[in-house]
Each structure stands twice: as structure tokens, then as C-alpha cells.
Structure 1
Amino acid sequence: MEFEVNGARRTVDVDDDPAAVEVVRDRLGLTGTKLVCAGGVCGACTIQVDGEPRVSCLTPAARLAGRRVTTVEGLADHPVARAFAGEDALQCGYCTPGFVVEAAAFFERWRAEHGPTRPGREQIAAALAGHLCRCGAYEGILRAVAAACAGDYDTAPTGRQAPAVPRTEAPEKTDGSARYTTDLHPEGLLEGVIIRSPHAHAHVRSLEAGDLPFVPLLPPDGVVRYVGQPVAAVAAPDRAAARAAAARVTVDYEVLPAALDAGGARTGEGPLVYEDKAARKRAPGSGETPQLVPARWRGNLRGPSAMSKRPAAAVRRIREARTKNPDRVVEGVFTTASQTHTPLEPHACLAHWADGTLHIQVSTQSVKRVAELAAERFGVPPERVVARAAHVGGGFGCKMGLTSDVVAAVELARLHGAPVRVVLDRDEELTDGGYRPGTRIRLAMAADAAGDLSALAIDADNDGGVSVGGSVAALARFMYGKAPRRLRDFDTVTHRPPGAPFRGPGGPTLCWALEQAVDEMAHRLGQDPIALRRRWDGNPKRHALYERAAALPVWSGRRGGTGRFRRGVGVAAANWLYFLDPVTEVELTVEDGVVVARCAVQDMGTGSRTVLRRAVADALGLPEARVRADIGRSDAVHGPVSGGSRTTPSLVPAAVDAADRLRDALGGSDVAARLDAAHGVRVTGRRPRDRRGFVTPFTLGGIAVGRGFTGSVQVAEVEVDTRLGRIRPLSVWSGIAAGRIHEDRLARGQCEGAVVQGIGYALFEERRADPVTGRVLTENLEDYRIPGIGDTPEITVHFHQEGFEHVPGGGVGLGEIATLPTAASLANAVHDATGWRPYDMPIRPDRLLEGLRT
């Protein structure tokens, strides 16, 4: 078959009837086109055929014969590509090529009909409705497309007139040249496939495959505990052959009774998931620090793990208030569905062994941690393991350990003596890639005669499948003063896939219950919900946010109504711990007149590469062009995990310290004048200690707890369609108190994306499983719905930059605090609009309509 690709004639063999995406990526090497959903839902694989956008995963390659095909690589100089880079319309960048290709087609249509004018949000959203961004970079995308259409990027400024793009790697991500693990294809590559259990609970008696080489992936006791658990892995020259090989592996299962009902697990009943203490110790964790707080087991119920404060007094006060002042007691049972991470780049690892050294190219949030765990797991000296992650297509907490793709790829590479890549399919990602556990929260709150918080009791049942370590109730210890409170977390363990840490583990879930209860108490006391929070909340940083929120026109505007469409406004607040990695280092080396900053940190779209480069440039007084950030390698000096909102507050102070050391080594303040003669000069900077020290005297998994809490206050406006049960977010104001903001544009994009993910949690996302078999049913992006660009309200982010002056650099993490209150603020807005309180999340149309009828 012959066709034109980006202006060049190409000929390929399509006798095997491949999809267009396979031809473009694998046979032509144009890897900017990404394969994500394989179902035409996400738009990441979009190409243009004779100028019209097409999803290449559903387009037969034979349909391209004689046509003119344009991929993102052919649009590198297009105004839309420049606008995406200039407006920071991206984060991890994995979906960006598909957006650029579609937006470029819209640009041509718009300019032909309207000239250089600016389209509205709704017009842009309608044109890009077939595309998904899990990072939630939609606000930037809307800005970029509007700016491109208006002519702001018609010419590419050059020389001194060319402004620096907000994100260092943006040009690579917008033109498709950024290489992710899924894009790598070294000579002799084999593709690995994981064989997974079809049973929720079984003992594997044997694995047989004749002379076919395979590697077992079973736990030490040979027991599988959920549908989709890895059992073995095979490899072949291509994925189709690997699947055929996997079908030849015979697994002899002794099927055992399975505990699939969370209600039964709460009573301690049902077949045991973990039969003994040794098995329980191997249980994966769904939080940042699994099983940190000891708890007893009773059958399949673990807990309570308690972070209470005068619990007996809390119980007594609530009991007395029920009798004497029932109108000052708020009680309820709140539930949340499981929220799946589903980063658009799935879990992926490419491994090969060379001269006794293990090389791992991996989509991970921690190259250093993966290398350390791999050395331990595979019996290799730590210095003989190198993990790399040049670009990472999202993570959100699920890519922080030695995941099954890494284990399978490494074992297969050792078995075959060749490079092996293992990439999870979307159904594997949605089944075994991690999720925020569902919960059932029983809450009781009492106010005293003065209207102050008197007592709080929360029991949270965390449903994380075979994982443990829920910490929803525990987080309530740190909010709303010092009133007595009984806070108990339970893990209801079932034969379902394990949960994993997800952007503020436990935080959005707690806010769903706590912030609705506070809102309900304000209504009962006849007080303004913002004013009540301000009175109860002793955090001065959030006081500044409450004042701004109360002054918003939307807060005092018209609400409610009696017609079909009703408007409501809700508020919610949150706090989060300040985490850091206190042993972070940055190495600076002068190479050919350029300062190269190295650190074993990675960038999954949050901007670590840009933050490091600019922190060094600013500290040395150098133009950005004379500094290069070299990250994503485990053999560099120690860097932080990209999780727990600890990357920037760990990285920036170390970078500044390194810059000070380099200046001293060069003998003066005029660093630029000395660079050309300083080739080879090398220094290492370390993160200084906070002036007030840390809360924890040690680190656990690279985490230390600093002094002070970040804060967030969000005000959401919604329109409720009382006939169809639809909720349309109109606007969200997000106030963030996390100290100094080092990169404003990147920080705003991250916070906007956090709001989008909170909207998904509140309104759409619901992981479902078959109650009989335990098989995950929401195994594609059609059934598991994440927010699209049309679901995005107008988002305004306000940063309060005071309160962390004791921290070197003055700023702390904001990736998690920005998403915590979103779902609760939307729920309170729905109540404001309709008078109905949504206790169950997501707030589906059927639930809303049923609530309005009762």
C-alpha cells in the first residue's frame, strides 16, 4: 500500500490487516501518535486523513491507501502546536499529540469561516469532545486553541523576541518527539504479556507450557486472591505472537471460595483472604505508608486503627447532645465509589541486561525507588541497576513501586537474554493498575450551645480489595480545632484487586463526609457556611482564603429556584500535611559553558524538570539557555519520589544550595563570565533543614513530615437539571495556601487539573465489579467515564503565598491539597440548589432524581 505521510510518499505491507495506529507507530516509527484506549474513546491516536481527523485505532490501515496522512510530527510548526507550548496546554503530554492534531483541523475550519477571531469555550469543547486528558489540562487547552485561532501564534518569534515556554519539554511533547517507555523499540525487542487469573480465589497447583519459556509471577504461597492477579508472563517478537504464546500456558487452578461482599467482610465473615500472619504482612497498601498504624485482624476485617483525641469524651458529648439538643447533632452514612487512576500512559517497563547490569526504562514516579527495589528483588548490587524515565505519562500515585510490569519485564529479559517490554492494555490498567478505595463512612458531629464544634466521631470502612492501610478517619484529627473526636479506620478485605495511593490518599474521601456535615451544621445553626468554617478553623492561612471566598460575587449571588434548572453554590475546605524528602541532592556540572543539573527525580507532568532548571538559573543569575536539567536516571544523586506533594519543596532548596556551592567554586558572583573556562567543575548541593525542624525525626519511604499544614478553600457553582438529573459545574474558585509558588503557570495548571479530577470523583467515576465473579466490569474508557473538556467549568485559582517562611524556598507541595475539597464543594452546591443532600458518590442522575422525589 502506498500513501503520503507528512508530505513524503511511503509504502507499507498491510496484508495482515493492521489498524492504522500500528502502521503509523510500529512500522513508520511516528510514535507521537499514542495508543491508549483502542476503542475510539480517548482521541490520543488521532491523525488527519486528507485533512480530516480520524482515530487511527479504529481505522484499518488499508483505508489510507492513496490518501494524504498527517500526524503530529507533521504539525510541529503549526500555530496550534506553538500555542499548546506557549499556553502550557499540557501536563504529562501523553494525550497532547491527539489534541494538537484535532485542534489543528478545527483551526483550519475556524479560520476559513471566521478569520483570526477567538472562538468561545463551548465551540472549542464541542470540537475536542472526543479527546480525554487524565491530568485535566483542559483550561490550558481551551486557552491555547482560542489564542491560536485569534492569531496570537501565527508567526514564530525568534531571537530575543522569543519568550521562553512555561514548560521546558513542551516543544517535544507538542511535536511528538518526546519518547515515553511505550515508544521505545530497541533492536531485538521482545514484547511481554502477563497471564492473569480468571478466578477471584484459587491455589495454583501447576504451570505447564511444554518447551515454551515463561516466568512465574505467583506469590510465595501460590495463591491468587483476585481476578486479574498476575500468574505468569511470556514474551515473543510481537504482541500478537506473545498473546498466542500465553494461550499455550496451562494453569491448573484449585478454585477456592471467594469473599466478594464488603458487607460480609465488615462483620468478619466469609472465606479468609489472608489465612495467616505471614500472608497478612504481604498485603499491599492503599496509602502512602501501608500498615503504619498497627491494627488487629478479625477474619477479613482489619481495624480499628485509631488516631483519636479524647474518644470517650467525644462519644459522651454526642450521646448527650442527641438527647438534649438533637438539632445540634449531624449524623449520616456517606459512601464513595472507587476511583481508578487510569493514567493515559499505562504501566510500562522495558528491561534488558548488559554486562551484569540491569537497565530498566520504566513509566514510574520514582526511578530511585524502583532501582532499589529491583536490586533487592533480583539479587543485584544496587550500583548494577539503572532505572530511567525520560517522560512519564501520568501516575497520580499508582506508579510508585515494583509493579507487575517491571517484575515481568525484568524476569523475561533475563530468561531470553534480550530486551523485553511489558505494556499493560487498557483493560489491565483499569483492572490491576490501582484505584482509590471505596468507603462507607459513619459520621456524627455535635455543636455546643455557643455553636462551636463539641465532638466528632467517624468510623470509615475502607474497601480496597486485598489491600490495607486506609486512613480516611485519621485525617479528621487535623481539621477544625481540638474538640474531642473518636476516629477509627477499618479495612474490609475482599478478593478484589488492590487499591493504591491516589492524589491525597483518604483526603477527598474524608472531605466528602466531613465538609457536608459542616455545611449541614451551618444550616441548622442558621449561619453562613463560610463564616462557620472560619470560626471553627484555627488555621490562619485558611482564614485569608475564607475572607476572599466570602467576597466572591458568586457566593452572594442568586441561588436555588423552582424551575427545571436550579443554580447552587457550595463551599468546602481542606488541609494536608507538608511532606518532603530531607536528603534530596542536586549535582551541578559545568559542561561546555552550560550548567547541567542532575538529580534522580522524574517528571510525570508536574514540572520537575522545569522547576529544577529555573531554580538553578535564577540562583546563578544565568539565562535559562545556559542551564540544562538532566533527570529521570536512578544513577544520579538522590532525588525525591513524585508523590505525596514532596517533589518541589525537596528539589528547589537543594538546587539553590548547589548553585551557592558552584558560585563559591567559581570564585565570585559573575558566574556567566566564568563558565567557559570552568569545564568539569562539579558540586553537589543538599536540601537544608527547615528552620523549625521537622515533625518526624526520621524518614519513612523517603517521606518526612514538616511543620505546618497546607490549606484549600473551594467555592463551586452548579446548575442542576431537575428533569434529567444532570449536574453541570459552572465555575470553581480554588484558593490554595501552600506558600511560595515557584512556577506560577505550571502550578495553576496542576491545580486546575486537580479540580477536574475532583469533578470526575464527584459526578462520574465509579469502578464496578461483578458481585458473583469479582471481575472488574468497568474495564474500558467507555464504561469507566472520566471528565472530558466539555465537563470543565471555568476554574479560577488563587494562591495565598504566606505562612511557610520557615521552609527553605518558602513553598511546599500543592498537588494534593488542590483536589481534596472539590467533590464536597460540588455536593454542597447541589444541596444549595435543590435542598437534597447527596450522601452517595458519584452523584449519578438516578440518585439525584430519586432524592428529589423523596
Structure 2
Amino acid sequence: MGTTVNGTPAQIGADPATTAAEFVRDGLGLTGTKTACNAGVCGSCTLLLDGAPAASCLLPATALEGRSVTTVEGIGNGAEHPVQRAFAAHDAMQCGYCTPGFVVEAAAFVDRHRAEHGDTAPARDEIADALAGHLCRCGAYPGIYAAVASACAGEHDGAAESAPPRTEAAEKASGRARYTTDVRPEGCWEAVIVRSTRAHAHVLGVDAGGAHHVDLLGADRTVRYVGQPLVAVAAPTAAKARAAAEQVSVDYRDLPAAADPAAARLPGAAVVHSTRAERGAAPSHSEGFVPPARWKDNVRGPFNMGWRSATAVKRIREAARRGDDRLVTGVFQTAVQAHTPLEPHACVARWDDAGDLHIHVSTQAVAALAEEAAERWELPRGRVHITAEHVGGAFGAKAGLRVETVAAVELARACGAPVRLVFDRAAELTDGGHRPASRTEIALLADADGHLSAMTMDAYSDGGVSVGGMVTTLARLMYGRGPRRLRDFDVVSHRPPGAPFRGPNGPQLLWALEQAVDDMAHRIGEDPIALRRRWDGNTKRHALYDWAAALPVWRERTAGAPPGRFRRGVGVAAANWMYLVDSATTIELVVEDGTVVAETAVQDIGTGARSVVSGVVADELGVPAGLVRVRAGHSDLPYAPASTGSRTTASLGPAARDAAAKLQEEARGRGAGTAGSGRLDAAALAALEGLRVRGRRRRDRRGYVTPFALPDGGTIGRGFTGAVHVVEVEVDTLLGAVRPTRCWAGISAGRIYAERPARNQCEGGVVQGIGYALYEQRRDDPLTGAVLTANMEDYRIPGIGDTPEITVHFHEEGWEHVTGGGVGLGEVSTIGVAAAVGNAVFDATGWRPRELPLRPDRILEGIGAK
């Protein structure tokens, strides 16, 4: 049986279990077609079948018989399609894993639209309808809108006149970018993890039926959640590995389980971590240091970071007794938010003949992972080689030595062959990491002059078997130094562990705090932005308040909930995040074949690390962007930080600048460059062939808050990033639907190194914040602990049609003490969005939402009871 793929004949096997996606990816090596959901939901596997888009993960390969197939590699008949140029020009991508699917669908739409309507831009709704079957977890939708509209208008029919804002844009738009899930060395075996079906049990024995396997259980032989890895098996093919996994027999001795967090707090509930050693080994869902705290059964805490706590409690109790109108209280809850990267956790491992370990892995910490792997397998650091050329989405849960890497490496040694292990979507949504749910009790008191007089907050974080709740701790960093009691608790239960997620603990805090501050503004009759500005001592954020207050949408809003079915409202929220940096960051420049190659181990998870480095080097040397290349994502290259805590740009930019300055100095010493200035041209580069220099990230002028490196290698710098989000929503009071229509995001992060990728990242932060506010909620069976939303139909993330019009405003002043002048913005750009949506819903309806997500049933119940 046969077909034609990109114009070339291809033979199809007769196995009906082989999908069309597997056929083009594994059989033909056309890895631009990605698989993510395997349910026809995300669109990443889209190809053209006789010219019409189709989800190849749902099609059997035999359905391609006699048909014409076009993958992303064949779009444009061997030439670059205008859509691909448009996606590159408008930076319509971040990690890029979903990009080929978008490109294929968009190309079909653009060709059809132009044939019917000529070179005209379609309406925004038309684009959203055409791309409704595609998801981008990074939230690059604004750029996609712009790319498709401009391609329809014929603006990208010819070659681009300038380089795209993202250096790897052409690779991602064409499907050439290779991710860990695309790697399959010759002779590679496939691995599958067998996971627990019990929430709590002792494992008495595991029978792998003779399959190559590795044990993944701890020494206590105890499972504590449904989905916990038990054993990994490997076989020469994926089908044989799945068959071997199905044959694994596990002998459990069931133990009482506390699978519901409310039940876990009751007297007599089964204890998740019963010994001191177990509690010390509990996984963390927070980044960095987890402070010590008391335990009582399944409750850890309180950890108190307040000051003048007794005064705060006394003032609030007295205000409650006298019925003070300036006392605001409330209980606010958030749901579990799953990471859901489109490229699942994946690893390909092999041992070479010399005993070196090679790991290709979807990670956000290349250099750190190499150190951990060397320690784990007792190898010299130079004999461990980590590669993460491209990473398909990483928001905090792909750092460190995780189970997919441990299993693949151990199986590779046991099998004597390379081993590939990729989570399926159910495993990803169960054990791939999540932002814990939370319950926060808050009280704010204002004095007669409207100043913050006292604050108390108690937050209970629900991270399954994990700990690390520091929700109220972050409240120490906002709104002055008035007396406050800030207590954090963890409620552990027999459910999967959480993981750091883009501003860990921040969205939970701001959902409560920013709505309480909004309530206070209404109580005392003050403009919500003006009150925040008065309470907030962050001068950089003052400029953002002034900007937000001047927006027409804010100035022209009307007081009180408007009448009618569709009600518009405007809300605001502020955000704060630490400035982190890794001062050990190093970049080497080498002149190679007439170009400058920047070498760095950094992984580019879609935030634009390559673009930052290449842009700085090109600007400093005065060379065209095309003469600078970036070699990244390999642990054999110079040290770079993990992509966590918004530290990469602040670390990489100054190191690249330092390296460029040294290259200029060498050029001047050799008499190369334009008029001896060190600004290089092609002739100068030819004279410098083979030159290698190394640059480091220089120390900030005012030093750092922490005079030593944190456990993850970072350092806390002086100053806090800031954000102010203004969101406009439309509430359908008949159906209970909330639709964000516009968002303005003011960001204070100093120098913007790569403007369009930075703006893209902030837009994506808004999209993820909207998902958190309106849609995302992992659901679990309270009796068994099993995750019920284990596919991308039941766990909903925002699509392109859910995206409001987004305006990003950068405030770059106030960071002159920072080497390079710029800090990170990935965290602060998203953590306050849900609170702004909540405040906008209140403005539209007069009802204060308390629980996320803002489902239609909750909206209708709330406004009906008001």
C-alpha cells in the first residue's frame, strides 16, 4: 500500500494500530508533525490530507492509502510559505512545539482566504474560528493573530527584508527544530513507566515477567498516590514496551488513604508522611529553600513570616468587635492548575563505549542536571553530556533529575542500548507537576486616614504529597511594613505532588490580596489604583500605577454594575516578584567560518534566550545579526543558569556583553575592525578566525540581598520587579460566561533585551493567567485519589479564541544599579492576572468572586444570590 508524502511516494505498513502521526514521524522521519494530546484536541499533529487539514494522531496510517499527504516540511512545495515567513516576522511562537501544526492549518486557511477574498486581512473572529482546533500552552496567540492576518493581506509573499525577532524562528516555523520527543538514535528501545493504581499501599512485590526493567520505588516500598511510578520497562519497539507494561504484576497491601484534602485534616485520617525521615523527604512544590515548620499529622505549619503579629491580630479583633467598616475579611480559594506543556516530559539516554553518559532531555536546567547526573551515577562531570536543543514548554516542572531521566538512564545501562521514555498525556496531567490549590483567609484593616493598619493571612496549600506553601510569605513583600501576621500551612494528602509553576505561590496570594485591597478601596470610597499607589512603596510600580490610571478604559469606567444581560467591567491588580540572577553565568565567543558563535549551555524554553544573546553580541560588535550564531542547550558548553525564577535574561545579557567587549579588545589589539574601533565587518572577522574569548556576568553595583548563592545557584538581587494589569471583561448574566475582551499589562523589569520575545512572553503570561482564572481545574476522585481530568478535553487550557486584545507597556527605569540594566519578567507578567479578572467581574456585576476557576455555575449562583 502506498501514498505520496510531500510529493514523494511512500509505502504504508499494514498494521492498523499505527497512526498516521507515527507513520510520518517514526517511519519517514518527518518530525515536524508533533504529537501531544493523542486525542485530536491540540492540533500539533496537523497535516494536509488531499489539501485539507487533518489530525494525524486520530487517523490510522492505512487511511492515507492513495491520498496526498503534506506535512509542515512540504508546505510551500519546497519553498518557504508566506505563512512561515509571517510566523517568523511576528514572533508567532515561543517554545515552538505547537508551531508546525499552527503553520499547516494557517497555510490552508490563508490560501483559501486569498483565493476567495484576495489580499485582504480577515477579521479576528475568522482567524480564531479557523485555528480553534489548536492550542499553544505558552500563549503566543497575539503573534499568531498578527501573522495570519498579514499573510492573508499578502505582506509576506517575498523574502523578508530583515531578520526575525527570534533567532530560531525559521527552524520552528519549518518543523526543523528538534525536541527530545523527536530524538530516536539507531537501535533505540522504548520505555514505559508502570504506575500505582492505589493511593496508599505497601508494594510487596513486582513481577515484570522477564522484561528489562528498573525499580522506581523508594526504600520504604510505599506508594502514596495514584500514578506514582513503580517500575519502568523497555523493549525494542513502543508496542512491545506497552505490552510488557501491561504484563507487569504488582502485589499491593492496601493501606488507609486520605485522598481528599478536607478529609486529610480530620482526626484519625491516614497520615501521609508519618516519620521525620518521610517528612524531610517530602517533595517540594516551591522553588528554592523550603523553611522548617512543625507537623501535626497531615498539616505542616504554621510558618510565620509576619512582623508585629500580635499587634496585627489585636487591631483586627478589636475592629471586628466594634463592627469597623474599614475591616475587610474574606476566604479565597484556588484550584489545582496543571503545567500541561505540549511536549511532555521526555528523555533519551545512552551510554557510549567509553562509559560516557549522553542524555537528551526536555529540561529547563541543562547545567544543573549535568551536575546532578554526575553525582547520581558517580561519574566525572566531563563524562556526562546533557542536550536540550529545543524544549517544548517548561514552566517550572522540568527542572532537576526527574523520574523520566532516572528510568531512561538505568534502562539504557540494563539493555545495552539507547532508551527513549516519553510521558503519555495521562501521565503528564497526573504526575507532570501542578500549581497547588489553596485556601486563604485574609483580613485587612485601614485606619482613619485610609492607611493599611493591620493584615492577617492564613493560607492552606493543597499540593498532594508535596509541601512548600509560601503564599502568605510573599505578602511580606507588598504594601509597606504595617503590622501583619502571615501564616502558611501545607495540607498533605494521598494525591500527586505539585511542582513550581511560574511564580510559585504568587497567583494564590494575589487572588486573595488584590481582591481584598479592591474591596478596601470601595469601602473607603477611593479609586482602586490610587489606593494601591498610596499603600505601595515600590517607586518603580508607581510609574505603572500612573500609566494604568491614565488609560481611557480606566478613566471612562462607570460606577456601579451596569444593567442588561451583557455587562462590562474593568479590574486592576498589582504584582511583585523577586529579582534573581546567577552571577556564575559564562558565555564564550568564537570566530568560526566568518561568523561569531556564542556558546552557552542555556536551554531556550521559548523565552528567547538565544535572541537575547545574539542581539547583545551583534549590537556590541556592530555586526549584522546574520553574522552571529548561538550554540546552546548542551552541558559541554559554558555554564548557564536554569530557566527558573526569571533569572536567565538578567544573567545571560551582561555575560554576552562582557564577552563581546573582550572580543572588541582583541580586535583592536590586532588592528582589526572599522578604523580600529573594534566594530567588526566580514574582513575583520576573517582576520580573527579561531579567536576565542570568555565573558562573565559582572557583579551589580549595589551587590545582592544574599551574599551567597542559593541552593539552586541563584542570588537574590536588590529590588523587586513589578506589574500592574488592567483587564476588561464581559459577563453574560444569562449563561454565566466571562469573556476577557482587553488587557493592559504594565511591566517594570528594566532594560528589554529582545523586545518582541519579551512582549510575547508577557502576552503569554496574560493568557496563562486567564486560563487560571476561568478554565483550569484538575479534578480528582475524592475516594480513590485518581486524577479524573487526565486528557486535554477534560482539562481545558485557553485557546486562541479565549485571548483578549493585549497591550504590553514596559517601564525600563529604576534598574540602573543592575549590571546590564535588565531583570526577568516571566513570573511577574502572569501572577496578578486572575485577580484583575476577579476585580473586573466584581465591577461588572457587583458580586465578589471568591473561588477559582470562575465557572458559569459559580457566576450564576453568585450574581443570583447578591
Normalised by the shorter chain, which TM-score bucket?
A: over 0.9
Residue of structure 2 aligned with 1:716, choices 716, 727, 731: 727
CA distance in 2, matches of 1:398, 1:566: 38
The one-letter code sitting in structure 2 at the alignment partner of 1:2 is G
Are residues 1:680 and 2:680 paired?
Answer: no
Are residues 1:349 and 2:360 paired?
Answer: no
Are residues 1:691 and 2:683 paired?
Answer: no
Are residues 1:780 and 2:783 paired?
Answer: no
The one-letter code sitting in structure 1 at the alignment partner of 2:243 is A
CA contact (8 A) 1:729 1:792 kept: yes
Residue of structure 1 aligned with 2:95, choices 87, 92, 97: 92
Q: 1:10 aligns to what?
A: 10
The one-letter code sitting in structure 2 at the alignment partner of 1:762 is A
CA distance in 2, matches of 1:678, 1:364: 35
- 1:178 partner SS: coil
Give the CA RMSD over aligned residues.
Answer: 1.2
- 1:713 partner SS: strand
The one-letter code sitting in structure 1 at the alignment partner of 2:601 is A
Q: 2:394 aligns to what?
A: 395
After TM superposition, the structure 1 = structure 2 runs for residues 376-455 of structure 1, keeping only pairs within 5 Å, are: 376-455=375-454
Are residues 1:543 and 2:554 paired?
Answer: no
CA distance in 2, matches of 1:462, 1:837: 22
- Deviation, 1:675, is 2.3
Are residues 1:757 and 2:768 paired?
Answer: yes
The one-letter code sitting in structure 1 at the alignment partner of 2:760 is G
- Deviation, 1:664, is 2.1
- Deviation, 1:323, is 2.6
The one-letter code sitting in structure 1 at the alignment partner of 2:534 is R
Q: 2:677 aligns to what?
A: 669
- Deviation, 1:210, is 4.1
CA distance in 2, matches of 1:133, 1:523: 37
The one-letter code sitting in structure 2 at the alignment partner of 1:653 is P
Q: 1:657 aligns to what?
A: 658
- 2:325 partner SS: helix
Deviations 1:646-669 (A, max 9, x none): 000000111111111222233153
CA distance in 2, matches of 1:416, 1:16: 29
- 1:841 partner SS: coil
Q: 1:170 aligns to what?
A: 169
- Deviation, 1:22, is 1.2
CA contact (8 A) 1:267 1:301 kept: no
CA contact (8 A) 1:368 1:634 kept: yes
Q: 2:616 aligns to what?
A: 615
CA distance in 2, matches of 1:13, 1:222: 43
Deviations 1:176-217 (A, max 9, x none): 111100011110000110010000111111122343221100
The one-letter code sitting in structure 2 at the alignment partner of 1:647 is T
CA distance in 1, matches of 2:212, 2:856: 51
Greater shift, 47-56 or 59-68, is seen at 59-68
CA contact (8 A) 1:286 1:500 kept: yes
- Deviation, 1:581, is 0.7
CA distance in 1, matches of 2:658, 2:557: 52
After TM superposition, the structure 1 = structure 2 runs for residues 261-340 of structure 1, keeping only pairs within 5 Å, are: 261-266=260-265, 269-291=268-290, 293-324=291-322, 326-340=324-338
Q: 1:33 aligns to what?
A: 33
CA distance in 2, matches of 1:7, 1:156: 24
- Deviation, 1:325, is 5.0
Greater shift, 322-331 or 425-434, is seen at 322-331
The one-letter code sitting in structure 2 at the alignment partner of 1:568 is G
Q: 2:673 aligns to what?
A: none
CA contact (8 A) 1:268 1:298 kept: no
- Deviation, 1:20, is 1.0
- 2:441 partner SS: strand
The one-letter code sitting in structure 2 at the alignment partner of 1:729 is P
The one-letter code sitting in structure 1 at the alignment partner of 2:626 is A
After TM superposition, the structure 1 = structure 2 runs for residues 129-208 of structure 1, keeping only pairs within 5 Å, are: 129-157=132-160, 162-208=161-207
- Deviation, 1:595, is 1.7
CA contact (8 A) 1:290 1:468 kept: no
CA distance in 2, matches of 1:43, 1:261: 34
Are residues 1:820 and 2:823 paired?
Answer: no
Divergent runs of 4+, >4 A: none
After TM superposition, the structure 1 = structure 2 runs for residues 588-603 of structure 1, keeping only pairs within 5 Å, are: 588-603=589-604
CA distance in 2, matches of 1:222, 1:135: 38
CA distance in 2, matches of 1:96, 1:269: 51
Q: 1:216 aligns to what?
A: 215
- Deviation, 1:64, is 1.5
After TM superposition, the structure 1 = structure 2 runs for residues 511-660 of structure 1, keeping only pairs within 5 Å, are: 511-559=510-558, 560-660=561-661
Change (3 A) 1:231 1:82: same
- Deviation, 1:682, is 1.7
CA contact (8 A) 1:734 1:795 kept: yes
CA distance in 2, matches of 1:128, 1:269: 52
- 1:586 partner SS: strand
Deviations 1:539-573 (A, max 9, x none): 11111111111111111335532211111000110
- Deviation, 1:164, is 0.4
CA contact (8 A) 2:567 2:733 kept: yes
The one-letter code sitting in structure 2 at the alignment partner of 1:329 is L
CA contact (8 A) 1:589 1:597 kept: yes
Q: How many residues are aligned here?
A: 849
CA distance in 1, matches of 2:684, 2:82: 39
CA contact (8 A) 2:302 2:489 kept: yes
User: Kindly, what percent of the aligned residue pairs are identical?
Assistant: 63
CA contact (8 A) 2:212 2:235 kept: no
- Deviation, 1:267, is 5.2
Q: 2:73 aligns to what?
A: 73
The one-letter code sitting in structure 1 at the alignment partner of 2:774 is L
- Deviation, 1:680, is 2.5
- Deviation, 1:60, is 2.1
CA distance in 1, matches of 2:697, 2:239: 48
Deviations 1:325-345 (A, max 9, x none): 521011011000010001000
Deviations 1:470-498 (A, max 9, x none): 11100000101110110011110111100
CA distance in 2, matches of 1:675, 1:33: 38
* Long gaps (5+) in structure 1: none
The one-letter code sitting in structure 2 at the alignment partner of 1:29 is G
Q: 1:56 aligns to what?
A: 56
Q: 1:744 aligns to what?
A: 755
CA distance in 2, matches of 1:213, 1:584: 40
- 1:770 partner SS: coil
Q: 1:804 aligns to what?
A: 815
Change (3 A) 1:44 1:407: same
* Long gaps (5+) in structure 2: 670-675
CA contact (8 A) 1:289 1:469 kept: no
- Deviation, 1:249, is 2.0
CA distance in 2, matches of 1:845, 1:189: 48
Residue of structure 1 aligned with 2:116, choices 94, 103, 113: 113
- Deviation, 1:268, is 6.5
The one-letter code sitting in structure 1 at the alignment partner of 2:206 is L
CA contact (8 A) 1:471 1:506 kept: yes
Greater shift, 515-524 or 631-640, is seen at 631-640
CA contact (8 A) 2:260 2:785 kept: no
Q: 1:704 aligns to what?
A: 715
CA distance in 2, matches of 1:207, 1:816: 42
